[in-house]
Amino acid sequence: MKTRGLFAICTVALGLILPFGCKGGALKLTIDGSDKTFEPSSGILFASTKTFSEPDGKGGFKQGKASAHSLYLTNFLPKADVKNLQEKTAPAAQGNVRVDMSFIGKEGTEAGGAGPTAPLVVATYSAKAEKFQKVESIGITVIVDGKPKEYSFDSAKTEGSVKITSADGDTVAGEIDLRDGKNAIAGSFKTKLQKP
């Protein structure tokens, strides 16, 4: 996804893999012109800190940093395999679904914080935000006939937001309303986070 006026020059992974379970809420997915109800039952949260650079107007560059989180919601038990999830793969069982979202926090923040789980900040992340406090990317993977079909939202056309309503280190909950003209996600979710 393009970041307007910015480009990431470094991502410092914090190595936080948080398997979680506990179904709560439902999401309505609109893909390929049809609607599908998706009830997340498990997933993984990754946290990192990104460093950004942009021209300073004086021939040099100025740098900034911000927390970054990737949240994967699934209706299957994901393997504790970071590479597997980052490559957007899923067990080839009919009907398996994964929704993945990435967020950039406020400028100057870091994902590490004082707590071991680096929870998402309770806030609204907009798809139209210029640089920070934004939904960076959104995608849906669905297993059809034993093969994954991937749908990535067009960042230039995506509208709406993700509102994280609770993130206390034990649970994460939120409301999603995102659309890009072809695909859409709407509804709420609530998931208990297990310590790694």
Residue-level pLDDT at 127:
97
Residue-level pLDDT at 99:
92
Question: Does residue 117 form part of some domain?
Answer: yes
Question: Does residue 149 form part of some domain?
Answer: yes
Question: Does residue 42 form part of some domain?
Answer: yes
Question: Does residue 1 form part of some domain?
Answer: no
- Per-residue pLDDT in tens (0 to 9) along the chain, 196 residues: 444 443 333 333 333 333 444 556 899 999 988 999 999 887 677 888 888 877 777 877 778 888 898 888 888 766 544 445 444 455 567 788 889 999 999 888 887 654 334 567 899 999 999 889 999 999 999 888 888 889 999 999 999 999 999 887 677 899 999 999 999 999 999 877 644 4
Question: Does residue 39 form part of some domain?
Answer: yes
Question: Does residue 2 form part of some domain?
Answer: no
Total domain count, the chain = 1
Residue-level pLDDT at 23:
56
Q: DSSP of 158-180, one letter per residue?
A: -EEEEEEEEESSSEEEEEEEEE-
Question: Does residue 111 form part of some domain?
Answer: yes
Cβ-count burial 63-102 (b if 16+ within 10 Å, e if not): eebbbbbbbbbbbbebeeeeeebeeebbeeeeebbbbbbb
Question: Does residue 121 form part of some domain?
Answer: yes
* Domain carrying residue 63: 7-193
